[in-house]
Amino acid sequence: MPREIEWTDSEEIGIQLQEKFPDLDPYTVRFTDLHRYVTELPGFIGDPAKSNEGILEAIQTAWHEEYEDAK
pTM of the model: 0.95
Report the CATH number at residue 46: 1.10.10.600
Residue 25 counted as domain residue: yes
Contact 44, 38 (CB under 8 A): yes
| Total of domains in the chain | 1
Contact 54, 2 (CB under 8 A): no
CA atoms within 13 A on the CB side of 22: 4
Residue 4 counted as domain residue: no
Residue pLDDT, tens place only, 1-54: 678 999 999 999 999 999 999 999 999 999 999 999 999 999 999 999 999 999
Q: Residue 60 belongs to what domain range? A: 10-70
